[in-house]
Each structure stands twice: as structure tokens, then as C-alpha cells.
Amino acid sequence: MVQIKLREEYIKLGQALKAAGVVGSGSDAKKEIQEGRVKVNGQVETQRGKKLHEGDKIDYEGQQIEIVK
């Protein structure tokens, strides 16, 4: 599991995927999210700008990403 440490109060979903290194660019993140390949806390999420806070978990292509403070 990859952990992303928050610098602010939240991080947006597209930014989190880039920070975790699972996508190469913001446009890649946008495409993957819009095609329904990303889950946040077990639910498919299609909003690239979804705000993630401490404790949120992302599932993408069999990888888990956790947001920590």
C-alpha cells in the first residue's frame, strides 16, 4: 500500500494518483477516473476533483493508496 502524506487539508483525486506514481500525467488520471477504473473508499468515483482527506483509501488497478496526515 502506498501512503500519501497530506500537506494541506485535502488532496484532489487526480493529484493523488499522480503523487502515488500510478499514472504518468494529469490527463492519464482524468481518463482513468472518467472510465470508472478508480474507487474511493470502495465506491467508483468519476470526479477528478474529488477532495480526499486523512483516512480515505483509493483502489486502482489492484493497488491501494491511503491518505495520511
pLDDT digits (tens, 9 = 90+) for 17-62: 999 999 999 999 999 999 999 999 999 999 999 999 999 999 999 9
- Structural domains of the chain in order of their starting residue, each with its CATH number: 2-68 (3.10.290.10)
Cα–Cα distance for residue pair 42/68, rounded to 1 Å: 17
Q: Contact, 67 vs 16, CB < 8 A? A: yes
Q: pLDDT value at position 55?
A: 97
DSSP strands (E only) in the chain: 2-5, 11-12, 38-40, 43-44, 51-52, 57-60, 63-68
CA dist., res. 20 & res. 10, Å (int): 15
CA distance 32 to 44: 11
Q: What's residue 59's pLDDT?
A: 98
- pLDDT at site 5: 96
